[in-house]
Amino acid sequence: MAVMRKRIETKPNPLPLPTIRRYPIYMRAIKAKMAGGDLNISSAVLAEELGLDPVLTRKDFAMAGIQGTPRRGYPAKELCEAMNRALGWDNATDAALIGVGSLGRALLGYSGFEEQNLSIPVAFDANAALIGETFRGVKIRPMSDLNRIIKSLKVKVAILTVPSIAAQSCADQLVAAGIKGIWNFAPIQLNVPRGVKVQNMDLAQSLAVLSHQVAVGD
């Protein structure tokens, strides 16, 4: 059963967006090295493996508040922990899922969220046939309960996986319930008040980049 976790409120320092995007890439590579027995990480070697500038990689690590030592590099475990703190992943985050279709169910079943300290304790859907069902330990609630439940659970993040025609209406309900961040999988630009953050997951954009790269070749 999905449960709410106790939050420890610590606020990380702001980071440049490109650095934020690189941190998960670094951590995946570092954890793979740790699994192979490496206790220390060379920023130069890691940067080369990832196709990055070593100077940039060292700057990224410095922004996480950790420094390496000559010939030894960076302690792998401490480096990952530092980047986790910088991203705010050391704090438990609870998210509400809106839309329990194929994509929503896939996200409910994604175990990788545990590494980012993210839990989905509640899900909502407009389909009456789904209401009351439990999937991956999460009970599906009607949209009419959204405001009350989100406020009572003090959830501040929502994952939106509904059709584009319903996305703005759902976003309006989420904002009214006090949501401060929306991870939007709907192919539509949401209008939200200042102070509410939206991260769009545009699958068409990613496919366009891949299709173009394949078409033009090397």
Query: What is the residue-averaged pLDDT of the chain?
Result: 91
For the stretch 186-217, pLDDT in tens is: 999 999 999 999 999 988 878 888 888 898 87
- pLDDT exceeds cutoff 60 at 3: no
Which tens digits make up the pLDDT trace of 84-126? 999 988 888 899 999 999 999 999 999 889 888 899 999 999 9
Can you tell me the mean pLDDT for 139-156? 96
d(CA 40, CA 191): 45
Q: Higher pLDDT residue, 208 or 5?
A: 208
Mean pLDDT of all residues in 81-86: 92
Beta-bridged to residue 199, according to DSSP, are 183
CATH 3.30.420.40 is the classification of domain 93-205: no
Sequence ranges of the domains in the chain? 17-87, 93-205
What pLDDT does 212 receive? 81
pLDDT: which is higher, 213 or 41 = 41
> Contact 87/20 with Cβ under 8 angstroms?
yes
Q: Does domain 17-87 have CATH number 1.10.275.10?
A: no
Burial of 35 (0-12, 13-18, 19+ CB in 10 A): exposed
Taking 60 as the threshold, does the pLDDT of residue 6 lie above it?
no
What does the pLDDT read at residue 8? 45
**Ranges 9-18, 136-145, 171-180: which has the least confidence:** 9-18
SS3 for 10-75, per residue?
Answer: CCCCCCCHHHHHHHHHHHHHHHHHHHCCCCEECHHHHHHHHCCCHHHHHHHHHHCCCCCECCCEEE
Q: Is the pTM of this model over 0.85?
A: no
pLDDT of residue 216: 87
Residue burial 70-108, b: 16+ Cβ < 10 Å; e: rest? eeebbbbeebbbbbbbbbebebebbbbbbbbeebbbebb
User: Does pLDDT of 1 surpass 80?
Assistant: no
* Per-residue model confidence (pLDDT) at position 217: 79
Which pLDDT belongs to residue 12? 65
pLDDT digits (tens, 9 = 90+) for 8-33: 455 667 899 999 999 999 999 999 99
Question: Quick one: pLDDT at residue 7?
Answer: 44
Q: Which of 138, 93, 86 is nearest to 116 (CA)?
A: 93
Q: Please give the radius of gyration of the chain, using alpha carbons only, rounded to the nearest integer.
A: 20
Neighbours of 171 (CB within 10 A): 24
